Amino acid sequence: MSSTIGLGVPVPKMLPVTGAWTVPFTAYLLLLSNRVVYQRIKNKQWIGDHLNNPDNKNHTTDNPDPLFLESRCHLNFLENVPLAFVFAAIAELNGADRSVLSYAMAALFALRVGHVEIGLRGKGTMANGRPIGMFGTQGFLAGMAAYTAYLVKGYWGY
């Protein structure tokens, strides 16, 4: 499948898998962003990542500061997903198998959602989803980097 530019020059779609996965990842990012905004509006806290109220001193892992919790969920997503997309795009541009890449992106999405919904927002902010999501995401990054290196091994003479 291709599209045309200029005077009808065909240009192939280069990143269909990575492009398709932008939809669920963006939808989830918007959800995380809106949770932060909701806490800011609800508590009239327009700047910072902690609530400035007298009850703030009583927050523990079992009763976390809601603004801080939602901010960390949002930031943890932003700390990992952009680099993962860069790695996936580089792999796809270098001929990655599209089904392998699709499964890998699905796994990453499940890991990131699990990290937040089952982990950080779970009991005591330390439920099972948190380490699974964190180590799984690190595994995705290492695996995608290794897969990309494998795809370009010919460049190094192997």
pLDDT digits (tens, 9 = 90+) for 100-139: 999 999 999 999 999 999 988 888 777 888 899 999 999 9
pLDDT surpassing 80 at residue 9: no
pTM of the model: 0.85
Range among 36-40, 72-76, 102-106, 116-120 rated most confident: 102-106
pLDDT surpassing 80 at residue 81: yes
- At residue 43, the pLDDT reads 79
pLDDT surpassing 60 at residue 56: no
Categorize the per-residue pLDDT at 12 as very low, low, confident or very high, splitting at 50, 70 and 90. Answer: confident
Helix orientation angle between 129-151 and 98-114, rounded to the nearest 10 degrees:
160
- Tell me the C-alpha distance between 10 and 81, whole Å: 31
Categorize the per-residue pLDDT at 7 as very low, low, confident or very high, splitting at 50, 70 and 90. Answer: low
**How far is residue 25 from each of residues 55, 75, 78, 132, measured CA to CA in Å?**
34, 14, 11, 18
